[in-house]
Amino acid sequence: MENISRKGAKLQTKTQRVSFATLRLCVKYFLVTAVVLTCVGVASSQTKPARAHASMSPEAKELLEQAIGVVCTQAKLDPQSSVAIDEMQARPSLPVQSPEARAGAERAQRLLPVAKTLVISSLRQLSTDYGLQKSPRFNVRLRLAIARVNSVKRVRPDMDSRDNASVYLSRPHVITFGTIFLAGLRSDEGMISVLAHELMHIADGDNDSLRALVGAIGNKASDLTGLDIHGQRGEEVTCDLIGAMAVRAFIVSTPGYESVARRLARSVQHNCVDLDEGDEDHLSPRNTIRALLALNPGLVRELINDRF
């Protein structure tokens, strides 16, 4: 990493720390020739204190905690559950040609077109939900963001990326995917969630062009949870929210014999870690689930009511 010039608000200096992963951390590197965005599991230490505004009722909070319980119980029961990010990072590297990595790469490439479509519809939905569709300036940015999503063509499996997924924003048609990560997402729902997360970073681009939407979502998540979800935290939560929305729409369009709750849980259960820590720029994994479910109470209802 020695030829990385370190600048930019999103830059982290601890991305390459190897230890027990507790958090999916996404970082932009500014290389000589490229901007690269990497989502990686790292250990980290601290969560900021709560904001003053709490606007969820005690009953809603109780339901939300029950829904988290469903997600992380399914992580143990579901044979296709996503492996927790701390467990992924502790695993040995996996060759690209291993059967698990190949299966994951094939799954990712197969699902990329549907993930792109679902991300675009989720982006449009959120723009309406947050009152941004009337802004001509935002609409121009949204159109360009959608064009960036549409330009993504390929998933590139990479052994050295381990449990990371990366996007080089100068080559935004490729998502580089670590083989451990490919193998750890054992369902279409888990894979779509992560593909959608990366596609949302591509949509936002290297100039944070969707910052109006990201900021609004971060503010709302902060108000609902009492957690500080601004700046980079807001972007990550937005990417995860797009992932959960994409999975929800995928489930509706592909009904099957499995419960809706089991399938929905796969969109977030890589956050069911044992050691739950965040840092200044990132919510802890379990708080990530909390923020997503606070933003989307429909998911809470379905996780609790559609378990069978």
Provide the binding-site residues for Zn ion, judged by CB under 5 A: 26, 39, 239
The three-state secondary structure class of 176 is strand
Residues 6+ apart with CB under 8 A from 98: 179, 183
For the bound state, the minimum distance from the C-beta of residue 37 to Zn ion, rounded and expressed in Å, comes to 7
Based on CB atoms, which residue is closest to Zn ion, 10 or 262? 10
Q: Which residue is nearest to Zn ion (CB)?
A: 26
Based on CB atoms, which residue is closest to Zn ion, 39 or 85? 39
Q: How far is CA 247 from CA 10, 169, 221, 251, in A?
A: 27, 24, 20, 6
The three-state secondary structure class of 108 is helix
Based on CB atoms, which residue is closest to Zn ion, 63 or 149? 149
For the bound state, the minimum distance from the C-beta of residue 197 to Zn ion, rounded and expressed in Å, comes to 6
Q: Distance from CA of residue 178 to its chain's centroid? A: 15
Based on CB atoms, which residue is closest to Zn ion, 26 or 244? 26
Based on CB atoms, which residue is closest to Zn ion, 70 or 268? 268
For the bound state, the minimum distance from the C-beta of residue 119 to Zn ion, rounded and expressed in Å, comes to 13
The three-state secondary structure class of 221 is helix
For the bound state, the minimum distance from the C-beta of residue 224 to Zn ion, rounded and expressed in Å, comes to 21
For the bound state, the minimum distance from the C-beta of residue 112 to Zn ion, rounded and expressed in Å, comes to 17
For the bound state, the minimum distance from the C-beta of residue 139 to Zn ion, rounded and expressed in Å, comes to 24
For the bound state, the minimum distance from the C-beta of residue 239 to Zn ion, rounded and expressed in Å, comes to 5
Burial 64-85 (b: 16+ CB within 10 A, else e): beebbebbbbbbeebeebbbbb
CA pseudo-torsion sign 91, 240, 289, 30:
positive
35's tokens: 């901007």
- Under a CB-based contact definition with an 8 Å cutoff, are residues 14 and 189 in contact? no
Based on CB atoms, which residue is closest to Zn ion, 118 or 239? 239
| CB-based burial label for 208 (10 Å; 0-12, 13-18, 19+) | middle
Based on CB atoms, which residue is closest to Zn ion, 195 or 249? 195
